[in-house]
Amino acid sequence: MTRTHLLFKTNKFSPTPGELDPEHDDHINDGIFAKELATFLCSRLPEHGYPISDDIIEDWGHWIEIDHDEDFIISVCCSNNSAIEDDGIAEHRVFAVATKPFFKSLFKKISTGNSEEKLTKALKKILESTPEIQSIEVEYE
Per-residue pLDDT of the chain (141 residues; tens, 9 = 90+): 678 999 999 999 999 887 877 665 556 788 899 999 999 999 999 999 999 999 999 989 999 999 999 888 999 999 999 989 999 999 999 999 998 776 666 677 777 779 999 999 999 999 999 999 999 999 998
Q: 137 near 5, Cβ under 8 Å?
A: no
What are the residue ranges spanned by the domains of the chain?
Answer: 4-140
pLDDT, residue 100, reads: 76
Q: 122 near 36, Cβ under 8 Å?
A: no
pLDDT, residue 6, reads: 98
Q: List the one residue out of 9, 21, 45 whose CA is nearest residue 122.
A: 45
pLDDT, residue 3, reads: 86
CA 86 – CA 114 distance, rounded (Å): 40
pLDDT, residue 24, reads: 59
Q: List the one residue out of 47, 8, 5, 18 whose CA is nearest residue 136.
A: 8
